[in-house]
A and B are shown apart, each in its own frame.
Chain A
Amino acid sequence: MSLESQRLSRRRLLGGLLALAAGAALPPFPARGSEILTREVPAIGEALPLVGLGSWITFNVGDDPLLLEECTAVMAAFFAGGGRMIDSSPMYGTSQATIGHGLATLDAAGKVYATDKVWTSNAAEGPSQIEASRRDWGVPRFDLLQVHNLLAWEANLDTLQAMKAAGEVRHIGITTSHGRRHGTLERIMRDADIDFVQLTYNIVDREAEARLLPLARERGLGVIANRPFQRKRLVRRLAGEPLPGWAAEIGAESWAQVILKFIVSHPAVSCAIPATTRVDHVRENLAAAREPLPDAALRRRMAEHVRAL
């Protein structure tokens, strides 16, 4: 056996053990009716679990073997809990390679809804960048490719549409974050042939509710909600506050679950993509995508409560 194959074997073994440990730490098989909820995306004719997994910062760990295995354990818990969509970007440093490591270790390429982005101002570089990303992930093709942050969006969208027509990607979309360029996004949602939009939506960043989310429903587009916790800031802000009484009504045991339940209970949202490095957090996030979810009246109370804090 070569040194390289020994190294890979040990890595796979460690990853497998971590995955088993993460799986063992999960609660017993969910009782009937408590499985993770899914919602159909009309544009693609498929249902996706309401909570996915982001990778900004959390999976950017370089080639650090310890941190790679921790990320693999997070992915193992994510898949064991019924998660499917993992989102990344070539902008996220080594996150794509980390996901590829996890998928290979867990032999999970068939379980993931592989979501990535094209991120270049020079659209001619798009195909080679996408191919490099695909190699990092180790998947035969992406399920969803998006134009990252509307960067050179017209030319990059042409590339993605051509790839979709050629069967090189299943679905395509476009992203923004931090509430930027919603006017342009709305125009693209009306005019362009896309399947998904990704935008920032949470219990305090609600601008999308006015026009974008209703338009997404009207057009049957999938909506991926990024920055659900404002990169920890929102959860930290709420951490010192007691959970309101209505949290128990929706089965929320933490502020993170309150926030996620608020996001995914909007009927236009297909999936929220919190990022984490911790197995207990990924379990907590997935648990938020179970019944019960708040109705419209409770959603209003939730938003008012948080705004008043």
Chain B
Amino acid sequence: MSEWWTYRPGDLLMVSLRVYERLFVLHNQALWPAQWLALALGAGLLLALWRPAAGRRRLALAGLAAAWGFVAWAFLWQRYAPVNWGIRYLLPLFALQALLLLVLGLGRGVRVTASRRAPARWAGLALVAYAVFGHPLTALLHGHGLAGAEVIGLAPDPLAIATLGVAVLVQPARRGWALLAIPALWCLTSAATLLLLGAPGAWLPLAAVVIAVAARWRPPGCA
């Protein structure tokens, strides 16, 4: 695109808010009743992080890795990319994030903080809990009920927010930062998109990034 700097951010939008909302409605219709399974797995993730034994930690991170792969294929590639050709350039990042979760999560030397006195632990768990149980309810802000609910494991925003929470909990810090970068980038992209579309709740992915980065700066105690 020539003279790209002369375009307003809104000029780069390809879809309307209605089309964007309908993507999630159709996605949910196509996958129903997988939402219940996704919510159950999300609850399992939260429990695994609450009591982070090594086996649970590996299972949780492997499950998250699979979710990044599934969302990239089922939502981004099959639904979003046809109406927004820019999305195809983000797909490799989703694959990279899945790989990072597998390598860092299953590798040796990775821990999940378990200290109940560490504020960052609560921030990480709160992000995961919000992603699993709170974020789907933001569909109500759009005034169309829960048909377009964004559910962890099926839609990118709650998945990215939950991964931010995991990145806050992971030790050592270097590996936590490595897990944080791509979900943060997605959340910023999503916040910008929602803001330009005039969608309610555009600040939520942005707030998740701010909380995750702030919590990550304070190294939590490790079990």
**Interface residues of A, Cβ cutoff 8 Å to B:** 57-58, 60-64, 66-67, 91-94, 149-151, 178, 180-181, 231, 277
Judged by a CB distance under 8 angstroms, whether B7 is at the interface is yes
Q: Once bound together, how far apart are the Cα atoms of A93 and B23, in whole Å?
A: 14
Q: Kindly identify which residue among A60, A178, A180, A231 contacts B15, using a CB–CB cutoff of 8 Å.
A: A60
Residue of B nearest to A57 (CB): B16
With contacts A93-B84, A181-B3 taken as known, whether A64 is within 8 angstroms of B26 at the C-beta atoms is yes
* CB of B145, distance to nearest CB on chain A (Å): 15
Residue of A nearest to B7 (CB): A178
Interface pair A62/B3, CB less than 8 Å apart: no
Judged by a CB distance under 8 angstroms, whether B142 is at the interface is no
Interface pair B10/A67, CB less than 8 Å apart: no
Q: Kindly identify which residue among A60, A178, A277 contacts B11, using a CB–CB cutoff of 8 Å.
A: A178
Q: Which residues 1-19 of B have a CB within 8 angstroms of A?
A: 1-3, 6-7, 10-11, 13-16, 18-19
* CB of B154, distance to nearest CB on chain A (Å): 17
Interface pair A61/B19, CB less than 8 Å apart: yes
Q: Most chain-A Cβ atoms within 10 A of its Cβ — which of B6, B7, B26, B83?
A: B83
Judged by a CB distance under 8 angstroms, whether B89 is at the interface is no
Interface pair A62/B14, CB less than 8 Å apart: no
Contacts of A63 in B (CB 8 A): 82
Contacts of A64 in B (CB 8 A): 19, 22, 26
Q: Once bound together, how far apart are the Cα atoms of A289 and B1, in whole Å?
A: 33
* CB of B167, distance to nearest CB on chain A (Å): 32
With contacts A58-B16, A60-B15, A64-B22 taken as known, whether A94 is within 8 angstroms of B82 at the C-beta atoms is yes
Judged by a CB distance under 8 angstroms, whether B56 is at the interface is no
**Interface residues of B, Cβ cutoff 8 Å to A:** 1-3, 6-7, 10-11, 13-16, 18-19, 22-23, 26, 79, 82-85
Interface pair B16/A181, CB less than 8 Å apart: no
Residue of A nearest to B16 (CB): A57
Interface pair A62/B23, CB less than 8 Å apart: yes
Interface pair A151/B85, CB less than 8 Å apart: no
Interface pair B2/A180, CB less than 8 Å apart: yes
Interface pair B83/A93, CB less than 8 Å apart: yes
* CB of A288, distance to nearest CB on chain B (Å): 23
Q: Once bound together, how far apart are the Cα atoms of A60 and B7, in whole Å?
A: 20
Q: Kindly identify which residue among B6, B23, B79, B85 contacts A178, using a CB–CB cutoff of 8 Å.
A: B6
Contacts of A58 in B (CB 8 A): 16
Interface pair A150/B2, CB less than 8 Å apart: yes
Can you sample 19 A-B contacts with CB below 8 Å? A57-B13, A57-B15, A57-B16, A58-B16, A60-B19, A60-B83, A61-B19, A62-B26, A62-B82, A64-B22, A64-B26, A67-B19, A92-B14, A149-B1, A149-B2, A150-B2, A178-B6, A180-B6, A181-B3
Contacts of B19 in A (CB 8 A): 60-62, 64, 67
Interface pair A67/B83, CB less than 8 Å apart: no
With contacts A57-B15, A60-B14, A181-B2 taken as known, whether A67 is within 8 angstroms of B82 at the C-beta atoms is no
* CB of A202, distance to nearest CB on chain B (Å): 15
Q: Once bound together, how far apart are the Cα atoms of A231 and B83, in whole Å?
A: 18
Contacts of A62 in B (CB 8 A): 19, 23, 26, 79, 82-83
Interface pair A231/B2, CB less than 8 Å apart: no
Q: Once bound together, how far apart are the Cα atoms of A263 and B84, in whole Å?
A: 30
With contacts A64-B22, A178-B11 taken as known, whether A277 is within 8 angstroms of B82 at the C-beta atoms is no
Interface pair A57/B14, CB less than 8 Å apart: yes
Q: Once bound together, how far apart are the Cα atoms of A231 and B3, in whole Å?
A: 19
Residue of A nearest to B22 (CB): A64
Q: Once bound together, how far apart are the Cα atoms of A91 and B85, in whole Å?
A: 8
Interface pair B82/A66, CB less than 8 Å apart: no
Interface pair A61/B6, CB less than 8 Å apart: no
Q: Kindly identify which residue among A94, A151, A180, A277 contacts B83, using a CB–CB cutoff of 8 Å.
A: A94
Q: Kindly identify which residue among A66, A151, A231 contacts B22, using a CB–CB cutoff of 8 Å.
A: A66
Residue of B nearest to A60 (CB): B83
* CB of A232, distance to nearest CB on chain B (Å): 10
Contacts of B2 in A (CB 8 A): 149-151, 180-181
